[in-house]
């Protein structure tokens, strides 16, 4: 490791570090616009100039490797004058529109101008004007403000894997634009807004709605997929205004998907804000909480325990699921299921976790994907796979339909015979798995939610054991969930007990008239019509599929409106915090169940969130270990039954509308329509 001297301080820096990184290790702040630690080095802006011993002129520290014995100065008059000169050039054509710019208050150019700018400009000619570009319904462009740092271009090409941004022209005439004026077709596109150091790229849905100093900022967790991206929720009063990424190197780094960022406008639409009861006329009418509880209590008291069932949804917090399970245990019902899609998982913990962890993707040297499209189901996770592929050209094989994952992948087939060929070593990809030191398997809900999902899981396990996917400290067998609540539900035991019904059995019991009551806890990804003859209680925040057949509706809180614990696909325990309050008479979900139990004279054992969590930690102690992943012991799981010949599909066909919140989002609807319009235009051409 080389030793360098920065402003008289001698430090040791890692091999391959740049001068800029060396200065930061020494505690010196270096201004920059084009440099970003997760992007390739461009050296465009020249704002990071420093003095070096024996160098005839200041050097760009972002592009200069740190070498043994370097003497670096960051505080000389020459450095200050050079940075002031760069700032003056940057501001020549930059418009003086800070009062109306949405970047105001969060603008790197503003901040650096305070240190290196002038109170007036010597430039007297006309400033250039650049036409705004079309980048879709998410990104607002004011390209006259652009300083050509090319962060957006590098992100689209390197991280998102959708090279649809580029530059035309040279020098002052250079312009950043999209090719063919198309919508930026990436599930991560809006991250360019965070990357833009000026106000050239801003948020179109958020435009002119709020200033950063008006907002209350709350650290929370995303539930739009099972990655568990760390987010910051900015709210004004009771309204969530925006969602921004929060740094977590082990989960989402500093990126979030477009759905995570923009589906929040769905929180304001089609909300359930008061209890409803279906009357004799078949219509839902507003009711009081006491009336709703009395109706449910009367039905539960008449119903037989084996004729009462519950399904929990994909975005439920652990506390609400635990409260519901506790209630059903008291009622004597074993029919509760958190797998509303019918996934054949549960029991052995290693059989439903992303065992390598998300950060472990960086270590893999071969990847087999079965029944999953990570680009749609977990966009941020897919970006990490792409990064590994870019660095190592890791071989990737797909068992499932053809798909564009933003990296090269070999289509192996989409049927059971493909898996058998890999297991028997007859597939060409089998040799690549055999050569790999740390091979990885990702199996998704497209394979596990089939009727033969247990057999698919079992055969994937056999492949893992045959090719060293599980070897010593390395466990590369990974289940990629699509539901944020799924791992917590399985850990808490929300699967049918002895004599209990799973979702498929509930459908059959309802069809036969043998189900007296079904409780849907934010469960909307089901065939709700199957429960039309059954007394249905819907507890949730949106009037989606489950609410349409409900006899009683209990309005709950969305994920931004309550404190809750979520476990992501790797089993990482993460705590979400309330950023706003639920609308109207809606309540936090665990309090609804507690109130109903009290109405029925049932003691659940807790009266507060702290008491509930204490009870839950006794059942699952690892829930108390925030931001920790508890490794699972390898064991046998799945079955050896025959796999059907039906093609292996994926869980979602579209990225933008996968849950009640995103389906209620106007912005997600606009994104979907924009992509469909571009696809139609391409087809016509």
Say what the pLDDT of residue 121 is.
80
Helices 318-331 and 609-619, axial angle in degrees (round to 10): 80
Mean pLDDT of 597-603: 93
Q: Is 90 exceeded by the pLDDT of residue 164? A: no
What b/e string do you get for 589-600 counting C-beta neighbours within 10 Å, with b at 16 or more? bbbbbbbbbeeb
Q: Are 639 and 458 in contact (CB under 8 A)?
A: yes
Q: Are 142 and 98 in contact (CB under 8 A)?
A: no
Say what the pLDDT of residue 128 is.
87
pLDDT confidence band for 170 (50 / 70 / 90): confident
CA-to-CA distance for 459 and 248, rounded, in angstroms? 34
pLDDT confidence band for 183 (50 / 70 / 90): confident
Q: Is 90 exceeded by the pLDDT of residue 509? A: yes
What percent of the chain is predicted at pLDDT more than 70? 100
**664 in the Ramachandran plot: left (φ > 0), alpha (ψ -120 to 50) or beta?**
alpha
Say what the pLDDT of residue 118 is.
83
DSSP alpha helices (H): ranges in 205-268? 258-262
Q: Using alpha carbons only, give the angle 527, 532, 538 rounded to the nearest 5 degrees.
A: 75
Say what the pLDDT of residue 581 is.
94
Q: Is 90 exceeded by the pLDDT of residue 96? A: no
Q: Is 80 exceeded by the pLDDT of residue 630? A: yes
- Give the torsion through C-alpha atoms of 12, 14, 18, 20, to 10 deg: -50
What residue has token string 């509880």?
A: 293
pLDDT confidence band for 668 (50 / 70 / 90): very high
pLDDT, tens only, 381-431: 999 999 999 999 999 999 999 999 999 999 999 888 899 999 999 999 999
Say what the pLDDT of residue 468 is.
93
Q: Is 80 exceeded by the pLDDT of residue 119? A: no
Say what the pLDDT of residue 683 is.
78
Structure tokens that stand for 146 in this block: 């652009």
Q: Is 90 exceeded by the pLDDT of residue 253? A: yes
CA-to-CA distance for 342 and 450, rounded, in angstroms? 7
CA-to-CA distance for 452 and 302, rounded, in angstroms? 36
Q: Is 90 exceeded by the pLDDT of residue 378? A: yes
CA-to-CA distance for 259 and 379, rounded, in angstroms? 10
pLDDT, tens only, 535-585: 999 999 998 888 889 999 999 999 999 999 999 999 999 999 999 999 999
Say what the pLDDT of residue 178 is.
87
The per-residue pLDDT of the chain, averaged, comes to 93
CA-to-CA distance for 152 and 161, rounded, in angstroms? 12
Q: Using alpha carbons only, give the angle 49, 108, 94 rounded to the nearest 5 degrees.
A: 90
Strands (E), 297-409: 308-312, 336-337, 366-370, 396-399
Q: Are 161 and 208 in contact (CB under 8 A)?
A: no
**Partners of residue 521 on adjacent β-strands:** 312, 539
Say what the pLDDT of residue 376 is.
95
Say what the pLDDT of residue 404 is.
92
Say what the pLDDT of residue 602 is.
94
pLDDT confidence band for 523 (50 / 70 / 90): very high
Other C-beta atoms lying within 10 Å of the C-beta of residue 8: 10
**Partners of residue 176 on adjacent β-strands:** 167
**Partners of residue 648 on adjacent β-strands:** none
**638 in the Ramachandran plot: left (φ > 0), alpha (ψ -120 to 50) or beta?**
left
**Partners of residue 245 on adjacent β-strands:** 231
CA-to-CA distance for 685 and 679, rounded, in angstroms? 10
Mean pLDDT of 653-662: 92
Closest residue by Cα to residue 376 from 520, 228, 259, 278: 259
Higher-pLDDT residue of 568 and 1 is 568
Other C-beta atoms lying within 10 Å of the C-beta of residue 640: 11
Strands (E), 17-133: 49-52, 59-60, 71-73
Closest residue by Cα to residue 73 from 6, 151, 153: 6
Say what the pLDDT of residue 618 is.
95
């Amino acid at each position: 490791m080389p030793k360098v001297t920065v402003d008289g301080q001698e430090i040791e820096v890692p091999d391959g570090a740049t001068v800029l990184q060396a200065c930061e290790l020494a505690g010196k702040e270096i201004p920059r616009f084009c440099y970003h630690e997760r992007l390739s080095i461009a050296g465009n802006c020249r704002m990071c100039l420093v003095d070096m011993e024996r160098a005839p002129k200041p050097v760009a520290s972002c592009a200069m490797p740190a070498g043994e014995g370097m003497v670096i100065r960051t505080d000389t008059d020459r450095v200050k004058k050079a940075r002031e000169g760069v700032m003056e050039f940057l501001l020549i054509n930059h418009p003086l529109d800070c009062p109306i710019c949405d970047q105001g208050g969060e603008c790197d150019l503003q901040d650096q101008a305070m240190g290196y700018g002038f109170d007036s400009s010597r430039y007297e000619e006309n400033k250039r004007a650049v036409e705004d570009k079309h980048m879709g319904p998410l990104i607002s462009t004011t390209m006259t403000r652009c300083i050509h740092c090319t962060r957006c271009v590098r992100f689209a090409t390197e991280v998102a894997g959708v090279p649809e941004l580029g530059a035309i022209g040279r020098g002052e005439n250079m312009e950043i634009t999209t090719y063919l004026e198309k919508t930026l077709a990436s599930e991560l596109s809006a991250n360019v807004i965070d990357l833009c150091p000026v106000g050239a790229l801003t948020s179109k849905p958020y435009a002119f709605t709020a200033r950063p100093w008006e907002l209350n900022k709350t650290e929370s967790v995303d539930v739009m997929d099972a990655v568990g991206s760390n987010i910051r929720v900015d709210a004004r009063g009771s309204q969530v205004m925006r969602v921004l990424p929060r740094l977590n190197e082990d989960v989402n780094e500093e990126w979030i998907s477009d759905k995570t960022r923009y589906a929040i406008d769905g929180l304001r639409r089609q909300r359930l804000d008061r209890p409803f009861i279906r009357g004799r006329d078949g219509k839902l009418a507003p009711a009081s909480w006491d009336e709703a509880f009395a109706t449910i209590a009367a039905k539960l008291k008449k119903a037989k325990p084996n004729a009462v069932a519950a399904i929990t949804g994909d975005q439920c917090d652990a506390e609400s699921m635990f409260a519901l399970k506790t209630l059903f245990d008291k009622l004597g019902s074993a029919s509760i299921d958190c797998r509303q899609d019918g996934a054949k998982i549960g029991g052995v913990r290693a059989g439903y976790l992303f065992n390598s962890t998300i950060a472990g993707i960086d270590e893999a040297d071969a990847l087999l994907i079965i029944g999953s499209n990570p680009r749609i189901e977990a966009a941020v996770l897919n970006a990490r796979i792409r990064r590994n592929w870019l660095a190592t050209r890791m071989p990737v094989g797909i068992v499932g339909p053809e798909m564009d994952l933003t990296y090269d992948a070999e289509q192996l087939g989409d049927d059971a015979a493909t898996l058998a060929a890999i297991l028997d070593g007859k597939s060409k990809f089998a040799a690549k798995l055999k050569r790999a030191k740390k091979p990885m398997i990702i199996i998704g809900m497209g394979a596990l939610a089939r009727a033969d999902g247990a057999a698919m899981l079992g055969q994937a396990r056999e492949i893992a054991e045959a090719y060293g996917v599980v070897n010593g400290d390395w466990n590369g067998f990974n289940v990629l969930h699509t539901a944020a609540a799924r791992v917590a539900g399985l850990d808490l035991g929300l699967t049918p007990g002895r004599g209990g019904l799973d979702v498929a059995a509930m459908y059959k019991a309802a069809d036969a008239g043998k189900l007296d009551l079904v409780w849907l806890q934010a469960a909307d990804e089901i065939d709700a019509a199957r429960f039309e003859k059954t007394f249905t209680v819907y507890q949730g925040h949106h009037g989606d599929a489950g609410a349409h057949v409900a006899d009683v509706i209990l309005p709950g809180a969305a994920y931004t409106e309550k404190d809750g614990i979520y476990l992501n696909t790797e089993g990482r325990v993460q705590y979400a915090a309330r950023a706003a309050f639920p609308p109207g008479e809606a309540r936090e979900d665990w309090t609804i169940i507690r109130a109903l139990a009290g109405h029925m004279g049932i003691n659940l054992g807790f009266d507060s969130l702290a008491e509930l969590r204490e009870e839950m930690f006794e059942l699952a102690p690892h829930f108390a270990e925030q931001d920790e992943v508890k490794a699972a012991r390898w064991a046998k799981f799945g079955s050896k039954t025959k796999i059907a010949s039906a093609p292996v599909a994926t869980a979602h066909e579209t990225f933008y509308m996968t849950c009640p919140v995103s389906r209620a989002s106007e912005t997600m609807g606009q994104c979907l329509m924009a992509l469909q319009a571009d696809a139609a235009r391409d087809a016509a051409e």
